[in-house]
Amino acid sequence: RGLISAGEIEGGHAQAAAKPVARVLSAADVANVLYRGGPTSRETAAAARFAAGDRVRMKNIHPQTHTRLPRYVRGHVGRIDLVHGAHVFPDTHATGKGEDPQWLYTVRFESRELWGEGADPTVSVSVDAWEPYL
């Protein structure tokens, strides 16, 4: 983001005056900001590919970078319970590649789908999953 130079990284210290930033979070405000959170919903031109009730299979991916896709649901089939709208995609946002808004869904998995025939059939697990995971 241009706040530090390659020479400063290599040298381990500042070599120029700090650049001004638009907003500064004071230490006294940190707890309140974390408690309140920030809105992540965004507009997107893409239509949702899935709707409540659709059966979906989660991708079996193993990225080298950040993902919010739990390993225990990868490759498994679930059903969409809720469409939350488009939101900031954390996989790109966490790596500095922008917000890249993606549709977000609640997907429910039956316990036997995840853990086999010996699992309690009355149990299900829900995860919030972005469209690129489906």
98-122 residue pLDDT tens: 999 999 999 999 999 999 999 999 9
Rounded CA separation 134/130 (Å): 7
Res. 128 pLDDT band, cuts 50 70 90:
very high
CB 61 within 8 A of CB 76: no
Res. 85 pLDDT band, cuts 50 70 90:
very high
Structure tokens, 119:
């699992």
CB 93 within 8 A of CB 119: no
Sign of CA dihedral 71, 132, 109, 36: positive
Rounded CA separation 92/61 (Å): 15
Q: How many CB atoms are located within 10 Å of the residue 54 CB?
A: 15
Res. 36 pLDDT band, cuts 50 70 90:
confident
* DSSP structural state of residue 76: -
Q: What is the pLDDT of residues 20-31, one digit of tens each?
A: 777 788 899 888
pLDDT at 1: 65
Tally the C-alpha atoms within 13 A of residue 104's C-alpha that lie toward its C-beta. 19
Taking residues 1-9, report their average pLDDT.
83
